[in-house]
Amino acid sequence: MSRQTVLLPVIFPDPALHPLSDSSITGLENFDIVLFGYWKIPENTSPETARESHETEAEAVLYEMAATFSRAGASTDIQLHFGPGSEDDRELQRRISEETDCDVVLIADELTAFNNILVPMRDDRHRRQIVDFVSLFDVEDIFVLELYHATADEDGIESAEQMLASVEETLRDGEFTEADIETTVEIADDAKAAITEKARGHNIVVTGQPAGDRLFSPICEFVDEQTSTPIAVVRD
């Protein structure tokens, strides 16, 4: 299976992910990490002036982070850009993902070991992309991968169970075993709240990109706002 490029936006002047802990990042040998630094400059400040004032500082942070990912086995590249500080972070993340043509966008305020993975699935539209992504992790480093679906009523249980069972079967055709995977279907009046509660018990959420030109689905945005769990958005 080919390597995948994971984009990690690092928003300056106060990057949430700095510093990184070496002990919490493992098993990234099959990924190319792009640390996309973006320094949000104040109004009436030119990019040239901001770069002259902050380039050395920002590069030091990015290279320090890159070294941590490299020690975890990932090849790592850094980019640094200066631009308007008025742009909404979500729109900025979407635009960055388009510019870098990455496979996955990782949005995180903190990172821990990627060994407890939640995959909330509304349907199987992104099945292939999600399977390809999670299959690149070292199975020996994964404690559990939970496939999850929240349904509004009992009528949706059977079809949801069949969908998740099919995804599980595809994963088990690779290196995952039955012991590595959990499948959960729950009845929930509020799917966003149910997925968010689940996300709090995992250290990464993997989801597909919604239709259109958005990067985040509404549920993904809600999980990001309500938890500190990193979210990997697998792009189409």
Q: How confident is the model at residue 202 (pLDDT cuts 50, 70, 90)?
A: very high
d(CA 203, CA 200): 8
**Lowest-pLDDT range of 17-26, 121-130, 182-191:** 17-26
Are the C-beta atoms of residues 38 and 79 closer than 8 Å to each other?
A: no
d(CA 54, CA 195): 39
pLDDT at residue 44, as a whole number = 87
For 116-234, which CATH class? alpha beta
pLDDT at residue 96, as a whole number = 75
pLDDT at residue 29, as a whole number = 85
Instruction: Give the chain's largest Cα–Cα span.
Output: 61
Domains 4-107 and 116-234 share a fold: yes
Q: How confident is the model at residue 78 (pLDDT cuts 50, 70, 90)?
A: very high
pLDDT at residue 23, as a whole number = 67
Residues counted in the chain: 236
Asked if the model's pLDDT at residue 37 lies above 80, the reply is yes
Mean pLDDT of 150-162: 93
Residues in a beta bridge with 80:
37
CA atoms within 13 A on the CB side of 209: 20
Mean pLDDT of 48-72: 93
Asked if the model's pLDDT at residue 57 lies above 90, the reply is yes
Mean pLDDT of 43-48: 88
Percent of the chain predicted with pLDDT > 90: 53
Q: Tell me the whole-structure pTM to 2 decimals.
A: 0.89
d(CA 228, CA 196): 10
Residues in a beta bridge with 78:
35
pLDDT tens-digit map of 106-125: 988 888 778 899 999 999 88
pLDDT at residue 182, as a whole number = 96
Q: Determine the CATH number of domain 4-107.
A: 3.40.50.620
CA dihedral of residues 164, 141, 236, 167 (deg, nearest 10): -20
Mean pLDDT of 16-38: 82
Mean pLDDT of 49-76: 93
The domain segmentation of the chain, as residue ranges, is: 4-107, 116-234
pLDDT at residue 165, as a whole number = 96
pLDDT at residue 87, as a whole number = 66
Please name the residue that has the structure tokens 């939970």: 146
d(CA 26, CA 113): 6
